[in-house]
C-alpha cells in the first residue's frame, strides 16, 4: 500500500463540504486528515454487485474511498430485492452496476465510480485487478474466488474475501503483507457435489449485510493501515445462534506461490459441467490390485512439483495439470494409465482432458493420494 501512503503525504486540502461530510472520521486520531486523504486516494475494486457487494459498496462510498470499481454482468431481478438493498422495483431488468452507481452517486457524488459490465474471467482479470489497490470479492462462486486470488498473488494486491451460506458467513483477508492466500486455506475447489448452488440455496436476507459490512471494514483497515487486519484468520458467524469464532491458518509454502501463470486453469471453470463416468474411477484398493498385476498402469501425478517432492506414489511420472494440454503427446495411448492428484479433483479434470484428446486408456484415482 505504499502508493496510497505516498499519495497521502501531500494531501489536497479538503473543501468545507468534505470536512463537514467526513467530520466523524477527521475527529478520530487514528484516521484524521492523513487517513481520510488515504481513503480519497485509494482505488478499490468490488467484484460482484449482489448481496455482499451492495453493503460493501455503500460503506466504501460513504467512507470517501476516492475511486470504486464495480464489476458485474448481471441484471437486477425481483428475487434480489430482499437482500440487495441498493436496488428497488424500478431497477428490475437494469444492469446491476448501472443501478448501483446511480444509488451510490446519490449517497456520495464525490466518489468516482468506474463500471466494468463483465464477468471476471482469465482473459480480463489481470488488467482489471492491476488498475486497483485493493480487491474486495463479493462473488458467489468458487471459480471467481480462485481466479481473483491468483490474480492478486500475481500482481501483489490484497484480497478481502467473504462468503455466505443460508444462515452462516465468513470473512478473511488474503495476500496482505506477505500473509496467507486463499489457496493456503482452500487448496482445491470443492467437487461439483460439494459446492452449494446459489440459485437453489436460500439465504437469510440480512446475512449479506452483516458479512458485507465486515468486508467493508477490513477493506478500510487495509487502506488506512489500521488495526489488526483479518490476515491469517477466518472470521465465522452463525446468525441462528449469533455465535462467532475466529480460526487461524498459516501461509502454505506451496499454495501461496500459485498464481495466474502456475495454477490449474481448470479451477476457473465450473467443474459441475464435466461429470466423470463411474467406470473411469478407481478406488485406492482397486489401484493396489492393479499395481500388483502383471501389467501395472502408468501412474501420472498431475500435482505441482513441490507436492510431488513431498510425497508421491512409487514410479509415478510428474506432469502438472497446467502443462498437460501442451504435453499430452507424452502420455501413452496404449496400456493402462491412472492419473492422481491430492484429493481427486485435478486428476478427474486431467482424465477428462486426456479422454477428450483420444486417450481412452486413462482412469482417475478417487480421493487422490490422500486416500491411498
Active-site residue among 54, 152, 198, 273? 198
Helices 32-41 and 2-9: crossing angle, nearest 10°?
A: 120
Residue with the three cell numbers 501425478: 301
Active-site residue among 54, 152, 184, 341? 341
Q: Do residues 122 and 147 lie in contact, with contact meaning Cβ atoms separated by under 8 Å? A: yes
Q: Is the dihedral of CA 271, 277, 280, 283 positive or negative?
A: positive
Residue with the three cell numbers 443501478: 99
User: Does the annotation mark 273 as catalytic?
Assistant: no
Neighbours of 112 (CB within 10 A): 11
User: Does the annotation mark 341 as catalytic?
Assistant: yes
- Residues designated catalytic: 198, 341
Amino acid at each position: 500500500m505504499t502508493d496510497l501512503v505516498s499519495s497521502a503525504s501531500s494531501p489536497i486540502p479538503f473543501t468545507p463540504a468534505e470536512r463537514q461530510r467526513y467530520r466523524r472520521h477527521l475527529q478520530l486520531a487514528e484516521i484524521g486528515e492523513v487517513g481520510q486523504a488515504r481513503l480519497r486516494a485509494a482505488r478499490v475494486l468490488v467484484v460482484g454487485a449482489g448481496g455482499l457487494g451492495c453493503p460493501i459498496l455503500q460503506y466504501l462510498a460513504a467512507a470517501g474511498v476516492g475511486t470504486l470499481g464495480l464489476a458485474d454482468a448481471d441484471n437486477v431481478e425481483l428475487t434480489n430485492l430482499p437482500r440487495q438493498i441498493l436496488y428497488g422495483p424500478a431497477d428490475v431488468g437494469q444492469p446491476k452496476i448501472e443501478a448501483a452507481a446511480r444509488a451510490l452517486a446519490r449517497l456520495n457524488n464525490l466518489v468516482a465510480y468506474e463500471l466494468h459490465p463483465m464477468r471476471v474471467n482469465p482473459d480480463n482479470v489481470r488488467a482489471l485487478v492491476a488498475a486497483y489497490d485493493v480487491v474486495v470479492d463479493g462473488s458467489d462462486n468458487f471459480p471467481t474466488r480462485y481466479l481473483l486470488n491468483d490474480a492478486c498473488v500475481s500482481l501483489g494486491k490484497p484480497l478481502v474475501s467473504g462468503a455466505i451460506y443460508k444462515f452462516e458467513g465468513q470473512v478473511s483477508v488474503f495476500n496482505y503483507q506477505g500473509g496467507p492466500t486463499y489457496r493456503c486455506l482452500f487448496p482445491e475447489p470443492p467437487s461439483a457435489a460439494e459446492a452449494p448452488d446459489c440459485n437453489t440455496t436460500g439465504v437469510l436476507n440480512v446475512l449479506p449485510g452483516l458479512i458485507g459490512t465486515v468486508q467493508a471494514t477490513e477493506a478500510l483497515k487495509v487502506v488506512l493501515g489500521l488495526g489488526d487486519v483479518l490476515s491469517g484468520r477466518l472470521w465465522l458467524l452463525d446468525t441462528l445462534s449469533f455465535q462467532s469464532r475466529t480460526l487461524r491458518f498459516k501461509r502454505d509454502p506451496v499454495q501461496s506461490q500459485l498464481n495466474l501463470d502456475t495454477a490449474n486453469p481448470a479451477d476457473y471453470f465450473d467443474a459441475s459441467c464435466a461429470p466423470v463416468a463411474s467406470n473411469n474411477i478407481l478406488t485406492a484398493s482397486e489401484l493396489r490390485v492393479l499395481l500388483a498385476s502383471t501389467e501395472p498402469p502408468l501412474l501420472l501425478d498431475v500435482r505441482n512439483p513441490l507436492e510431488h517432492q513431498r510425497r508421491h506414489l512409487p514410479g509415478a511420472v510428474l506432469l502438472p495439470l497446467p502443462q498437460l494440454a501442451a504435453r499430452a503427446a507424452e502420455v501413452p495411448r496404449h496400456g493402462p494409465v491412472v492419473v492422481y492428484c491430492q484429493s481427486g479433483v485435478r486428476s478427474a479434470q486431467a482424465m477428462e482432458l486426456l479422454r477428450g484428446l483420444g486417450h481412452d486408456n486413462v482412469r482417475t484415482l478417487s480421493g487422490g493420494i490422500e486416500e491411498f
